[in-house]
Structure 1
Amino acid sequence: MEEVEVELLKLIENNANLEVEKIAKLMGKSIDETRELIDKLEKKKVILGYSTLIDWAKVLNEEEVTAMVDVKVTPARDVGFDKVAERIYRFPEVKAVYLMSGTYDLSVSVKGKTMMEIGHFISEKLSALDSVLSTTTHFVLKKYKHDGIILQDADEGDKRIVVSP
């Protein structure tokens, strides 16, 4: 990969909202060169998409429940864990799947409206797959930092009520 491509990727990784004109200026390239470079990287599937990080805890009635599920599986012959991971990541509830070292084989990030909804997904869909041997579910109680972005400022302070005898 060319140095200029890596430079571009580092810029948009930290802020996908940068306008092409600003990227071109930061890189010392023309706007057309920059657009062509972005198009090239999108076609090569180096740039897979652009996303926005939203703190849903600050939006009324929109908060979702997130669970991290450790999954132990039996790998398929000739394809290892890939086929199992593909079956799992195709479920719309699944937001991410990672092959892991350690006690469990896959780490699966799942989102739902309620804990019960996630529980139904795990018991009726995920655990029902032939290759899944066991699961352990961890519910996210609070997010402090995500993708390098701090979600709660330290100066917001402790909002708990002081209880004393």
Structure 2
Amino acid sequence: MKETEIQVLKIIEKNANLSVAKIAKMMGKSEQEIQQVIDDLEDKKAILGYSTLIDWAKVVEHEEVTAMVDVKVTPARGVGFDKVAERIYRFPEVKAVYLMSGAYDLSVTVNGKTMMDIGKFISEKLSALDSVLSTTTHFVLKRYKHDGFILEDDDEDDKRIVVSP
């Protein structure tokens, strides 16, 4: 991959809301050149989409529970973990699936309206798969940082007590 492509990817990974004109100016390139690079990266599937990071804790009307589920599986002969992962990521409740090293094989991120919804998904759908041997579920209680963004309020005063010698 060319250095220009890598630079464009790093820029839009941090802020996909930047215009082509702004990216071109930042890189000292023409708008047409940057647009062509972006089009090529989309064609190659290096850019899969553009998303917005939302701090849902600040949206009062929206309540959602997230769980990280460690899954131990039996890999399928000839395809390893890929087919098992594919069956899991096709469920609409599943937001992410990663092959992991360590005690568990897959890490699955699941969203639901309640803990009961997630429990029902795990017991009725995920654990019911033939290749799933065991699961361990961890519920997210609070998010501090996500995709490089700190989710804490910067406006709050520092409530620590000042200590001086």
Task: Give the alignment's TM-score, normalised by structure 2.
Answer: 0.93
Q: CA deviation at 1:67?
A: 0.0
Deviations 1:20-54 (A, max 9, x none): 11001111111111111100000000011111000
Q: CA deviation at 1:95?
A: 0.4
Q: CA deviation at 1:155?
A: 5.3
Q: 2:145 corresponds to which residue?
A: 145
Q: 1:25 corresponds to which residue?
A: 25
Paired with 1:144 and 1:60, the residues of 2 have a C-alpha distance of 18
Amino acid paired to 2:140: V
State the secondary structure of the residue aligned to 1:143. Answer: coil
Q: 1:76 corresponds to which residue?
A: 76
Task: Give the alignment's TM-score, normalised by structure 1.
Answer: 0.93
Paired with 1:156 and 1:130, the residues of 2 have a C-alpha distance of 50
Q: Alignment RMSD, CA only?
A: 1.4
Paired with 1:29 and 1:41, the residues of 2 have a C-alpha distance of 17
Figure out how many residues of one structure are paired with residues of the other and give that number.
159
State the secondary structure of the residue aligned to 1:156. Answer: coil
Amino acid paired to 1:100: M
Paired with 2:157 and 2:86, the residues of 1 have a C-alpha distance of 43
Structure 1: where are the runs of 5+ without partners? 160-165
Structure 2: where are the runs of 5+ without partners? 160-165
Deviations 1:81-114 (A, max 9, x none): 0000000001010000000111100000000111
Counterparts of 1:29-68 in structure 2, within 5 Å, are 29-68=29-68
Q: 1:162 corresponds to which residue?
A: none
Paired with 2:74 and 2:40, the residues of 1 have a C-alpha distance of 38
Q: 1:10 corresponds to which residue?
A: 10
Paired with 2:157 and 2:26, the residues of 1 have a C-alpha distance of 37
Q: CA deviation at 1:158?
A: 8.4
Paired with 1:16 and 1:57, the residues of 2 have a C-alpha distance of 22
Paired with 1:157 and 1:91, the residues of 2 have a C-alpha distance of 42
Paired with 1:136 and 1:158, the residues of 2 have a C-alpha distance of 37
Deviations 1:120-147 (A, max 9, x none): 1000100000000000000000001101
Paired with 1:157 and 1:129, the residues of 2 have a C-alpha distance of 49
Paired with 1:134 and 1:61, the residues of 2 have a C-alpha distance of 35
Q: 2:118 corresponds to which residue?
A: 118
Amino acid paired to 1:41: L
Identity %: 79
Tell me: CA distance 1:72–1:156, structure 2 relative to 1, closer, same or farther (3 Å). Answer: same
